[in-house]
Structure 1
Amino acid sequence: MVGVDQVLEKLSTVIDPDLKKDIVSMGMIKDLELNDNNLKFTLELTTPACPFNVEIEDDVRKAIGELKELKNFDMKVTAKVMEGRSLDADTSMATVKNIIGVASGKGGVGKSTVSLNLALALQQTGAKVGLLDADIYGPSIPLMLGMKSGHMEVEDNKLQPAKYNGLQVVSFGFFAEQSHQAAIYRGPIISGILKQFLVDTNWSDLDYLIVDLPPGTGDIPLTLAQTIPITGILVVTTPQDVASNVAVKAISMFEKLNVPIIGVVENMSHFICPSCNDKHYIFGDGGAQKISEQFKIPFLGEIPLNSGIMSGSDLGKPIMITSPDSPSAIAFRTSAKNIAAQCSILAAKMQDEMKSAETPEDTPKTN
């Protein structure tokens, strides 16, 4: 007769490749029932976007398969995104588990396009996702989503995000009076608008909120970093030295503010020839990889240069929707999974630090 202890011992041999911990100690085994050698439980993964979900599930089945006395085995697989920031310290946004700022050192690297398609890629895994267009000077997300006539309502003194296929979207571009005017505002006003978009919006139970920041190191990135606890910053660059060199400044700023860097994504990384499938590095090679090595931060993906991405953005038809099986969409999906994994790693690290702070010292101090 197989016992519960034997089952848990076998399951504890399964290690989450990202978190480097066994799934039992991580609390990923739920509702375990063992009756007359009939086993049933739920495997609760840390995010539906984990790049190792299939591998973990296969490892669990292999481990349980070694218990030959079992008659039947029934496993349900679910996912619950970990909280990658301190919600106790941010009661104003307690419904958002992870806030990811997307930054770049300079304009022209396709940061908004990357932000949008990563948000859609995360959503397509089953996660609940919001997208905040924080570029008050030049909001572009409504255009990219084909939502130029979109708007946001106010209910109970809270902004209600616009919706795009379930994606919650907030942008200064939804305000009709701003559609044909240049936004000329000083820093304090800009900061106030961003704070309102963050804390006075009815973000409904989000796993991830992607914040598309304007390029550079100005008031808006500073306001985000100083207003609320965030999970971390994703840096977008292109292969050219001029872009990667400027991106370094953004990384340095956030490091000085003690904001975690989730990693770096390289956009317009290469061009895949449609005739021969060869990669052509039009803008150089290895810019993001150099940043990754210099700052010891994860290199999370490379997005190929594709005219469909650009035309889709102009027409309000994101490539994640129109061409979900294209090489570009696959690259966005891979990057999104890697980003979700890094959020889980940061969440696990935060939990360990909280546990350490709560654990009393073994020996009393003596004078």
Structure 2
Amino acid sequence: MVDHVTVEGQRVGVRILLTVSGCPMKETLTREVTAAVLRLDSSLDVTVDLGVMTDDQRKGLQDVLRGGRTEREIPFAKAGSLTKVYAIASGKGGVGKSSVTVNLALAMAAHGLKVGVLDADVYGHSVPDMLGIGDARPTQVEDMIMPVPVKGMKVMSVGMLKPRKDQVVAWRGPMLDRALVQMLSDVYWGDLDTLLVDLPPGTGDVAISLGQHLPNAEVVVVTTPQPAAASVAERAGTMASMMHQRVVGVIENMSYLELPATGERMEIFGSGGAEQVAATLSTRFGYDVPVLGQVPLDQRLRIGGDDGIPIVEAAPETTAARVLTDIATRLGGRSRGLAGMQLGLAPAGRL
């Protein structure tokens, strides 16, 4: 937090108090505070001094972050929450669910939305690496955890909480549930327009726990065109409905390969997977589940994930990036609003 600011002519001094002396955000804070002051006047001489909070200051900051609450609660589950929560699900692994998640999040953030990304794929967490923050660690304020900021988003992953990056997570039901609740309630997400939750593949403990703790979350199902993948994806959508979550659409990843020479589409993994899933779920649920988009195979999509620069940022002109951006715009356009919400207002007295 900011302790004090001094101004003497063209010299500006800012003193920042860190939560702990070994805070991993030292360099980031120094850089961003300096940049923020220079945006006011580029000719200023800026000095950033870093100190450490006292125990009482850390406790006070935690009280502020919790909004004065002492008990644990999930802010997105509250009746008055305006944050749209999208759970990105798939029936099986290897369909590109995490790649889709990070690109959707980045595209939403680029359009001005306040976006959070929760990597709930406990066993196969890959979101941090795909965003170039594989070695990042969140800052802790007493019992509160600050998500890692990157590319205008807030990101949290169980991979950030492991002592070692190569450590295996071997958890079962109750521990998985506690980990999910901790990342939803003990992380200071702040005021978000959208939270994207990257779920593990299948219909296991984490997906069930999310349905129990966030029944208001809406589900996006990711599949490939292959019939075998599509039939499994239908189960993921059906399970979401069983948890009283609404499925808002289906994304077909690896839909086709566009030949560079001719522009012809080569359907490597077959065709019709997303349409099959959408039709089945629409019939089963009694409401329309649309196909949100078909993302083509593109080597740059894979390279972007490996390099920590998703394709919507690295190559926005590509067909894959445009499709993902269109889907993000469509989902982001369904963002929060006050229509139909009881605000609990009452007149203070007669005029």
Query: What is the match of residue 272 of structure 2?
Result: 286
1:108 counterpart SS class: coil
| 1:335 matched to 2:327 | yes
Task: Work out which of the residue numbers 316, 320, 340 in structure 2 matches 1:324.
Answer: 316
Q: Is residue 77–residue 213 contact of structure 2 (8 Å, CA) maintained in 1?
A: no
Query: What is the match of residue 119 of structure 1?
Result: 105
Between the two proteins, the alignment pairs up a number of residues equal to 263
Task: Work out which of the residue numbers 144, 149, 154 in structure 1 matches 2:130.
Answer: 144
Q: What residue identity is the alignment partner of 1:243? A: A
Task: Work out which of the residue numbers 297, 307, 320 in structure 2 matches 1:315.
Answer: 307
1-side partners of 2:132 and 2:80: how far apart?
30
Q: Is residue 233–residue 261 contact of structure 1 (8 Å, CA) maintained in 2?
A: yes
How much has 1:241 moved relative to structure 2? 0.4
Gaps in structure 2 of 5+ consecutive residues: 1-73, 283-288, 343-351
How much has 1:307 moved relative to structure 2? 0.7
1:177 counterpart SS class: coil
What pairs with 1:182-261 in structure 2 (closer than 5 Å)? 182-261=168-247
Q: What residue identity is the alignment partner of 1:202? A: Y
Q: What residue identity is the alignment partner of 1:327? A: T
| 1:271 matched to 2:250 | no
Superposition TM-score, scaled by structure 2 size:
0.71
Task: Work out which of the residue numbers 77, 80, 94 in structure 2 matches 1:90.
Answer: 77
Structure 1 pair 211–96 and aligned structure 2 pair: CA distance change class (3 A): farther
Alpha-carbon RMSD: 2.1
Q: Is residue 215–residue 243 contact of structure 2 (8 Å, CA) maintained in 1?
A: no
Gaps in structure 1 of 5+ consecutive residues: 1-86, 356-367
1:151 counterpart SS class: coil
2-side partners of 1:157 and 1:303: how far apart?
40
Q: Is residue 235–residue 247 contact of structure 1 (8 Å, CA) maintained in 2?
A: yes
Superposition TM-score, scaled by structure 1 size:
0.68
Structure 1 pair 197–96 and aligned structure 2 pair: CA distance change class (3 A): farther
1:203 counterpart SS class: coil
1-side partners of 2:165 and 2:244: how far apart?
36
1-side partners of 2:253 and 2:122: how far apart?
23
What pairs with 1:344-359 in structure 2 (closer than 5 Å)? 351=339
1-side partners of 2:82 and 2:297: how far apart?
32
Percent identical across equivalent pairs? Answer: 38
Query: What is the match of residue 130 of structure 1?
Result: 116
Q: What residue identity is the alignment partner of 2:179? A: I
